[in-house]
Amino acid sequence: MTEKESRNGRSKRILVADDDLDLLTALSTRLKKEGFEVITTADGYQTFTYTSNLKPDAVILDINMPCGDGFSVHQRLRNNMLLLAIPIIYLTGEKSTRVYQLAAKMNAFAVITKPFDTEELLSTVRKAVGISRDELQPFVPWGPQWAPSNN
């Protein structure tokens, strides 16, 4: 069993939520090339619905989306015990301290700012799905790895 497979032998399922359709297509293509099963959504409502029904192994979540921003979607997911342990990776163009504080409060797995390094994102996804749900550690918003990137 590889790191990209779940215990049941299927590829790890990643849900990518972003209203930028070009970015959504590019991320989906790259993640599929890496061997992940990918589900895409373009708004908060779809993201919550698909996550609830399909229970992905990780969610890459844009903060600014229509029909429910990333934080409100994340809060709704956290209110469901069956979805509580799904790692959330925020993807955002915002570089404010507020984003990092809210992400920490929500126990996000990571925050990656746009524009981003694809290899950094892939590495973060691999880490998120490689940790068992029982061992999932909360997001800690300090240290150089969590500082807003200037890319």
Closest CA to 10 of 60, 73, 55: 55
Q: What residue has token string 């507020």?
A: 98
Paired tokens of 75: 């809060």
Q: How far apart are CA 18 and CA 30, in angstroms?
A: 15
Give the model's pLDDT for residue 144. 46
Rounded percentage of the chain residues whose pLDDT exceeds 90: 48
Asked, for residue 149, whether it belongs to a domain, the answer is no
107 belongs to a structural domain: yes
Q: How many domains does the chain have?
A: 1
Whether 150 is covered by a domain: the verdict is: no
In a domain, 75, yes or no: yes
Considering the domain boundaries, does residue 53 fall inside one? yes
Owning domain of residue 65:
13-141
Mean pLDDT in residue range 107-134:
85
What is residue 96's predicted lDDT score, i.e. its pLDDT? 85
Residue 145 has pLDDT above 70, yes or no: no
> For residue 137, what pLDDT is reported?
47
The pLDDT value given to residue 95: 83
Residue 45 resides in a domain: yes
What per-residue confidence (pLDDT) applies to 69?
84
CATH number at residue 81: 3.40.50.2300
pLDDT tens across 15-43, in order? 999 999 999 999 999 999 999 999 999 99
8 domain residue, yes or no: no
DSSP-assigned beta bridge partners for residue 89: 60, 110
> pLDDT of 55-111, one tens digit each?
999 999 999 887 888 888 889 988 888 888 899 999 988 888 888 898 999 899 999
> Does the residue 147 lie in any domain?
no
pLDDT at 131 over 80: no
**Whether this model's pTM surpasses 0.95:** no
